[in-house]
Amino acid sequence: MLSIKNLHASIDGKEILKGINLEVKAGEIHAIMGPNGSGKSTLSAVLAGREEYEVTEGEIIFNGKNLLELSPEDRAREGVFLAFQYPIEIPGVSNVNFLKTAINEIRAYKGLAPMEAKDFLARLKEKQKLVELDGKLANRSVNEGFSGGEKKRNEIFQMAMLEPKLAILDETDSGLDIDALRIVAGGVNKLKSKDNATIVITHYQRLLDYIVPDVVHVLYNGKIVKTGPKELALELEEKGYDFIKEEVNA
């Protein structure tokens, strides 16, 4: 589904990603872990199409398409979803109205007619339940005045509504208490199918107790330096990132 080859990216002339290779197949959950400053958020920003980052080398192929040639909206329409580490507040734009517009633009891209109002409402109700999001929140302006946990839940709610093929969760666990974490993880697990894939980007192992990855990658200094089964996350938790640094620098 996703194939990243030798990806180099920089911002303001400073190289952050220094040759990333990653293969993600449908049905899989990948965790990307790493210390602060290793390039985790840069990777998610490059995947989503943030224009501040310049890709200097390498390629990203998503379901046969060159992702780097697509605009952020076309990536979303192809089925890439980024759950933001810091979701943006948009006063005056209602969550519901925004999602309706998003769904219908994605449908138009695929040559489909706008969604029937009753189908949309049904989906809204179902997915709200999935992430235990209060109906009132769904009707409010996007993220405006939401608590940290509500914002993260709203990201997963949007993901549920848009039904992406590839979801990238960027530090979705940061700032979440254990109840919110359980709800968010529960939402992600319920949305998992053999046709979609998830990349969980995180600093801590905690989230991976709830979202169990098939593969764990360690990102350090702009490169994936270690790949292993889910137990690798536990090892990292136990030993800290220093052992990775020592291994790399040895």
Tokens of 221: 């200094």
Which of 158, 172, 198, 205 touches another protein (CB under 8 A)? 158
| 8 secondary structure, DSSP code | E
75, 107 Cβ separation under 8 angstroms: no
- Give the DSSP letter of residue 241: T
Among 30, 40, 77, 152, binds another protein (CB under 8 A): 77
Least distance to another protein, CB of residue 94, Å:
9
Q: Which stretch binds another protein (CB under 8 A): 11-19, 101-109, 210-218, 238-246?
A: 101-109
Residues of this chain, 194-233, that bind another protein according to CB under 8 A: none
183 belongs to the binding site for another protein (CB under 8 A): no
Cβ-based nearer residue to another protein, 101 or 189: 101
Nearer to another protein, 34 or 49 (CB): 49
User: How far is it, in rounded angstroms, from Cα 5 to Cα 58?
Assistant: 6
Among 90, 121, 212, 248, binds another protein (CB under 8 A): 90
Is residue 109 within the footprint of another protein (CB under 8 A)?
yes
Choose which of 92, 111, 117, 231 interacts with another protein (CB under 8 A): 92
| 8 A C-beta contact, residue 161 and residue 100 | no
Tell me: does residue 243 bind another protein (CB under 8 A): no
CA–CA–CA angle 231, 86, 90 (5° rounding)? 145
Q: How far is CA 180 from CA 27, 74, 142, 156, 183, in A?
A: 25, 31, 19, 11, 5
Count the site residues for another protein by CB under 8 A. Answer: 31
Task: Tokens for 156, please give them.
Answer: 């997963």
Binding region for another protein (CB under 8 A) out of 42-50, 54-62, 191-199, 201-209: 42-50
- Nearest partner of 83 among 9, 184, 10, 212, judged by Cα: 184
240 binds another protein (CB under 8 A): no
Q: Which is nearer to another protein, 97 or 147 (CB)?
A: 97
- Alpha helices by DSSP H, 93-201: 95-109, 117-130, 135-139, 148-162, 178-191
Residues contacting residue 230 through CB under 8 Å, at least 6 positions apart: 31, 208, 212, 213, 214, 215, 216
Decide: is 70 part of the binding site for another protein (CB under 8 A): no
Site mask for another protein (CB under 8 A), range 131-150, x = bound: ----------x---------
Binding residues (CB under 8 A) for another protein: these are 48-51, 71-73, 75-77, 81-82, 84, 87-88, 90-93, 97-99, 101-103, 105-106, 109, 141, 158, 162
